[in-house]
Structure 1
Amino acid sequence: MAQTAHPPRLTAEAEAFLAENHLCTFTTLRPDGSPHTAPVRFTWDAATGIARVMTTVHRQKSRNILAAPGARVSVCQMVGWRWLTLEGTATVSTDRARVAEGIRRYTKRYWAPPPQPPGLAVVEIRVDRVLGN
C-alpha cells in the first residue's frame, strides 16, 4: 500500500475522541454497489493516517474490499451528537506482521485482544478524508 504524503491532521479534540472506547460503523460497497454497514471496533494511527479494523477474510466487509481493490470505505464513530467519519481506500491483509500490528493497536485501545478466529485479517484504511463535528 502506498503511503499518503500527508496524513489528515485532526484536532487534539478529534484525536482524543478517536481514542475513546466506542463501537463504530464500517461501510463498504457490495459488488452490486449497495452499501454494507457493520458494527466494528477500529484503531487510528495519526502518524500514518491508517485506520485498522480486525476481521476475517470470510466476512462480507472483507469480501467486498477484495472484490474491488482500492475500494473506498468509511468508518464512523458516534456518541450522542459527537461523530467523526474517516474515509479512504482499503486493503485486506493476512500478512502476519500487519495482522500483529492490528492486534497490538486493538489491544491497546480496547484493553483486550480481538477474537482470533481462523482467517484473521486486518483491513487497513488509508484515510484521506475526515468529516465530523
Structure 2
Amino acid sequence: MRLPLSPVAESFLSENHVCTLTTIRPDGSPHVAPVRFTWDGDAELVRVMTATDRQKINNLLASPGSRVAVCQAAGPRWITLEGPATVSADPQRVLEGARRYAKRYWSGPPTPPGLVVIEIAVDHVMGLL
C-alpha cells in the first residue's frame, strides 16, 4: 500500500479493533503494547494518547525520532503504519489527540497524570485488506 491510503484502508482504520504499538527499548529489544490510536489521513499522522510514565514513552525519549509501528488486526485483515515518532506534551497537540480519540472511540481517553500524545509521521504502510 502507498500513501494516500485507499478508501478500504481508510475505512478499516476507522473501525475499533485490536491495535499494538511497537517501540524499541534502549537495549534494542522490541516493546509491543496494546493501544488505541487515531489516523489523520490528511496529515498522514497517527496519534496515540498515553502517559509519561509508560515504557513506550521511555523508549521514545531514549531515542528521539526513532521509528515505530502501529498495527491493527481483525481476523485476516490487518494494516501496519510505520514512521518516526515524537512525544508531545504541548496542550494543543494533546487536546487534538484527545478530540480525535473521543470521535473514534465515542469516549475521551483516560486522563492519567502526565498525559501526552505520541505522533507518528507515517511514511510506510503494509497490509492485507
TM-score w.r.t. length of structure 2: 0.97
Aligned to 1:14: 9
Distance 1:62 1:75 in 2: 14
Say whether 1:29 aligns with 2:30.
no
Regions of 4+ moved over 3 Å: none
Which runs of structure 2 are paired with 1:72-83 in the superposition (5 Å)?
A: 72-83=67-78
Counterpart of 1:75, as a letter, is V
Aligned residues of 2:18 and 2:74 also touching (Cα < 8 A)? no
Query: How much is the aligned-residue C-alpha RMSD, in angstroms?
Result: 0.9
Instruction: List alignment gaps of at least 5 residues for structure 2.
Output: none
Q: Distance in 2 between matches of 1:51 and 1:22?
A: 15
Mind listing any 5+ residue stretches in structure 1 that lack a counterpart? 1-6
2:60 to 49, 55, 65: 65
How far residue 57 of structure 1 moved from its aligned partner, in angstroms, is 1.0
What amino acid is aligned across from residue 125 of structure 2 in structure 1? V
CA distances 1:56-105 after superposition (whole Å, capped 9, x unpaired): 11100011001101100000000000000000000011110000000000
1:3 is matched with none
Query: What percent identity do the matched residue pairs reach?
Result: 63
Matched, 1:103 2:98: yes
Q: Corresponding residue for 2:88?
A: 93
Structure-2 residue corresponding to 1:39 = 34
Letter aligned with residue 100 of structure 1: L
Q: State the distance in 2 between where 1:18 and 1:67 align.
A: 29
Q: What is the alpha-carbon distance in structure 2 between the residues aligned to residue 12 and residue 93 of structure 1?
A: 29
Query: How many matched pairs?
Result: 127
Per-residue CA distance 1:10-43 (angstroms, 9 max, x = gap) = 1100000000012200000000110000000000
In 1, Cα distance between equivalents of 2:52 and 2:123: 24
Whole-angstrom CA distance in 2 between matches of 1:92 and 1:61:
10
